[in-house]
Amino acid sequence: RQRITIDREIEQIVFGGVGGSAIAADVIIDWLIDRLKIPAVVVRDARLPRFVNKTTLVVALSYSGETTETLSLYKAARSRDCLAFAISTGGRLIDLCRRYERPFLAIRPSVSPRSALYQMVSACSIVLKEAGLTGRLLPAVGEAAKEVSVLRRHYTSTNDSSGNKAKQFAYSLKDNLPVVYALQRMGCVARRFKNQLNENSKIPAKFDLLPESGHNEIEAWHEANDLTPVLIRDSGESAFESKIMDGFRSTIKEATKTEALDVLIRSKSRLGALLCPIFFLDYVSIYLAFLRGVDPTPTALIKDFRKSIS
Amino acid sequence: RQRITIDREIEQIVFGGVGGSAIAADVIIDWLIDRLKIPAVVVRDARLPRFVNKTTLVVALSYSGETTETLSLYKAARSRDCLAFAISTGGRLIDLCRRYERPFLAIRPSVSPRSALYQMVSACSIVLKEAGLTGRLLPAVGEAAKEVSVLRRHYTSTNDSSGNKAKQFAYSLKDNLPVVYALQRMGCVARRFKNQLNENSKIPAKFDLLPESGHNEIEAWHEANDLTPVLIRDSGESAFESKIMDGFRSTIKEATKTEALDVLIRSKSRLGALLCPIFFLDYVSIYLAFLRGVDPTPTALIKDFRKSIS
């Protein structure tokens, strides 16, 4: 780890990455939605948007350090003279940083890219603080981690179905395609769950945001179909936000008699409100894999795809 | 219509709107991806992000002028002293503009919010030009409109299935849930098609972006299921982009024997490359409604949802 030297005014933040690495950036953006004073976006692509220039902080996230798109994006950031920073376990991305004498943060290898979420979030927090864009964030990350670790005993595999809400939830998703809805500021939870259902459970799933889905997607709910709606709730919902969630739920129910499943994990902190349901739903996706008789760990098709574009 | 007075440096653009109104902003952003020098985002919510301030151009889009979320967002923009602009057929949104003496652009009523796309795109083009953020865009909109209108005779309903690709395409989607994939810069086409399948055909559908989906969602394609993959192609694809599309397609095919359907409509202009496939897929969604024996026009559940949150 090297310190960043801040020699300019930062006007935008671009997190660059794909898959399990990019989701950490979504968590950061949803967490700091009311605190970041400049626009922050996640670019899941090899190309940088037109607006990116030397006033942009670019944070390249690649667990493996070998992701084709993220390597291209990092090189593009360097050629536009951005304040570029990399987060990775190693690979060519860190080699580039060393060669260019640019700052990076090396994280410890985990079981898989998707299980390194907590480390990736911590690393992003350090970068934002060092770039002078926020105060210290790590204490809050530590607090949220404590909240999450308390949940483990509820959801762990040795805890049988009768007292294990994660196992119960997986069972209720067994036969249908899950459709996950969340408000924008809980969007990372919905996206992460959808991706974990793909990667761990090996099933299709979709997520969408509210209130937007009430203005188009709701028309797909004229009849009961093979989909199960899941609503990501939040104990910090405003009266208007609760009205959105309840209105969406009751419109579906009146049209199809389908009851949406709620996910609501209470937490003390804003980051905990994101990481606690993510932790719960990570377990759900793994139990759903076991219910389907598949091994959640290998990701053969992702490997095939990555090979085809490298 | 009133002229905007530009009395400040604009540093970000926020388009505010939901459903059929918001999609025009997606088209604009994808169209100008290599031209806009400042970040532009679509906010499908009642809240403005933290970064929005008096250096932000806020364009509120509401076909009806009565959308709860967009009215709130417009009021919030005013209280933050943004350069705020409204586009609507009328309603309370235009009343607010008149009362506050703020600029607006009134568009003519159409059959439905979703059929006013072309007018909304034109109106946004005028706003960007008047705000000094681009050169004249309307000539390009006119060119693209000409390209689109040439397509009408191919897809019109009096043209029977044997020579009508839109009818043929609808038929191939008849029994399955469509899953639409596109590159980021063609994302508005995928999103619009998904929404039209919901609103016109009354069926569930999903869309996702590539290369991102190759890093998680591809794992859902281990076995043939009741989904039909649709790839939005583009005659302007780079070698790397074609590799992404082809790699994704062949990974699905090897795993499941499922052949993805391609959508590729050649066009002369960058905006035409977005509006031509949108026009084709709009027809597809309507033919699919007829195949399913449903009327594409009414949107009863959207009305129920809107009532529940107003």
Query: What would the pLDDT profile of A174-233 be if each residue is shown by its tens digit?
Result: 999 999 999 999 999 999 999 999 999 999 999 999 999 999 999 999 988 899 999 999
Residue B215 lies in a domain: yes
Predicted confidence band at B240 (pLDDT cuts at 50, 70, 90)? very high
Query: Could you report the per-residue pLDDT of A15-64, keeping only the tens digit for each?
Result: 999 999 999 999 999 999 999 999 999 999 999 999 999 999 999 999 99
pLDDT at A2: 56
- Cβ distance of B309 and A247 shorter than 8 Å: yes
Together in a domain, B178 and B127 = no
Question: And the tokens for A161?
Answer: 């179905």
Give the chain B residue whose CA is nearest to the CA of A196: B216
Which residues in chain A are closer than 8 Å to B214, comparing Cβ atoms? 18, 302, 305-306, 309
Using alpha carbons only, what angle is made at residue B287 by residues B195 and B184, rounded to the nearest 5 degrees? Answer: 35
Are B127 and B169 in the same domain? no
* Domain co-membership, B59 together with B124: yes
**Residue B224 pLDDT exceeds 90:** no
The span from the CA of B179 to the CA of A206, in Å, is 10
Say which residues have a Cβ less than 8 Å from residue A18's Cβ, sequence separation at least 6.
A44, A67, A69, A70, B211, B212, B214, B215
* Residue A56 C-alpha, separation from nearest chain B C-alpha, in angstroms: 11
Q: Taking a C-beta distance cutoff of 8 angstroms, is the pair A232, A263 a contact? A: yes
pLDDT exceeds cutoff 90 at A100: yes
Verify cis geometry, omega within 30 degrees of 0, for the bond prior to B211. Answer: yes
Q: Which residue shows structure tokens 């009096």? A: B158
Contacts with B197 from chain A: Cβ below 8 Å: 220
Burial of A178 (C-beta count, 10 Å sphere; 0-12/13-18/19+): buried
Query: Could you tell me the residue range of the domain that residue A19 belongs to?
Result: 12-136
Selecting from B69, B246, B255 the residue whose C-beta is nearest the C-beta of A211 gives B69
Q: What is the number of structural domains in chain A?
A: 2
For chain B, positions 212-271, list CB contacts with chain A under 8 A.
212, 214-222, 225-227, 240, 243-244, 246-248, 250-251, 254-255
> In this complex, do B50 and A44 lie within 8 Å of one another by their Cβ atoms?
no
Domain for residue B6, yes or no?
no
Query: Any chain B CB within 8 A of the CB of A34?
Result: yes
For the residues of A183-249, what is the DSSP string, one character each? EGGGHHHHHHHHHHHHHTT----EEEEETGGGGTGGGG-SS--SEEEEEE--TT--HHHHHHHHHHH
**Average pLDDT value for residue range A249-268:** 96
Contact A202 B220 (CB under 8 A): yes
Question: Which residues of chain B are within 8 Å of residue A195 when distances are taken between CB atoms?
Answer: 216-217
Q: Give the chain A residue whose CA is nearest to the CA of B44.
A: A212
Same domain flag for B70 and B179:
no
Report pLDDT for B3: 61
Q: What is the pLDDT of residues B255-268, one digit of tens each?
A: 999 999 999 999 99
Element (H, E) at A289: helix A272-291
Same domain? For A173 and A116 the reply is: no
Q: How far is B159 from chain A (nearest CA, A)?
A: 28
Contact: A309, B244; criterion CB under 8 Å: yes
Domain for residue A305, yes or no? Answer: no
- Say if B146 falls within a structural domain: no
Per-residue pLDDT, B278? 98
pLDDT tens, position by position, A103-120: 999 999 998 888 999 999
- Tell me: do B121 and B224 sit in the same domain: no
Name the β-bridge partners of A180.
A207, A230
Nearest CB partner across the interface for A309, out of B44, B211, B217 = B211
The alpha-carbon gap from B129 to the nearest alpha carbon of chain A, in Å, equals 17
**Nearest residue of chain B to residue A201 (CA atoms):** B220
For residue B195, the model assigns a pLDDT of 98
Flag whether B298 is in a domain: no
pLDDT for position A8 = 87
Averaged pLDDT, A158-186: 95
| A16 interface with B at CB cutoff 8 Å | no
Can you read off the two tokens belonging to residue A54?
């030397």
User: Is the same domain home to A131 and A181?
Assistant: no
Q: How far apart are the C-alpha atoms of A218 and B302, rounded to whole Å?
A: 6
CATH no. for residue B242?
A: 3.40.50.10490
Give the model's pLDDT for residue A95.
Answer: 97
Give a yes or no: residue B155 inside a domain: no
Question: Which residue of B183, B251, B294 is in closest CB contact with A304?
Answer: B251
A163 CA to chain B: closest CA distance, Å?
Answer: 29
Over residues A153-174, the mean pLDDT reads 94
H or E element: which one contains B27?
helix B19-31
Q: Kindly report the nearest CA distance between residue B144 and chain A, in angstroms.
A: 22
Task: State which residue of chain B sits closest to A43, comparing Cα positions.
Answer: B184
For residue B218, being part of any structural domain is answered with: yes
- Residues 70-109 (A) with a CB less than 8 A from some CB of B: none
pLDDT value for B111: 87
Mean pLDDT, rounded, for A66-80:
97
Gap from B146 CA to chain A (nearest CA, Å): 28
pLDDT averaged over every residue in chain A: 95
Secondary structure, 3-state, A231-253 = EECCCCCCHHHHHHHHHHHHHHH
State the pLDDT at residue A224: 81
| pLDDT for residue B304 is more than 70 | yes
- Of B51, B36, B40, B47, the C-alpha closest to B14 is B40
Residue B161's pLDDT band (cuts 50, 70, 90): confident
| Predicted confidence (pLDDT) per residue in B18-72, tens digit | 999 999 999 999 999 999 999 999 999 999 999 999 999 999 999 999 999 999 9
Mean pLDDT of chain B, nearest integer = 95
If asked whether residues B120 and B18 sit together in one domain, one would say: yes
Q: Final residue of a domain: which of B89, B117, B136?
A: B136
Q: Do residues B192 and B232 make contact, with C-beta atoms less than 8 angstroms apart?
A: no
Q: State whether B17 and B102 are in the same domain.
A: yes
pLDDT tens by residue, A277-294? 999 999 999 999 999 999
From chain A, the residues in CB contact with B40 under 8 A are 51
- Domain end, chosen from B118, B136, B154, is at B136
Other C-beta atoms within 10 Å of B260: how many?
A: 17
Q: Are B39 and A12 a contacting pair at CB < 8 A?
A: yes
A72: nearest CA partner in chain B: B240
Q: Which chain B residues touch A46 with a CB distance below 8 Å?
A: 211, 240
Residues 167-196 of A with CB under 8 A from B: 177, 179, 183-184, 195
Q: Is B62 exposed, middle or buried (0-12, 13-18, 19+ CB in 10 A)?
A: buried
Q: Which residues of B touch A115 (CB under 8 A)?
A: none
A284 in the same domain as A171? yes
Residues A275, A201, single domain; the answer is yes
Residue B65 lies in a domain: yes
B86 and B169 co-located in one domain: no
Chain A partners of B247 at a C-beta cutoff of 8 Å? 304-305, 308-309
Q: Is the pLDDT of residue B2 over 80?
A: no
What percentage of chain B's residues is helix, strand, coil (to nearest 5)? Answer: 50, 15, 35
User: Which residues 45-64 of A have a C-beta within 8 angstroms of B?
Assistant: 45-47, 49-51
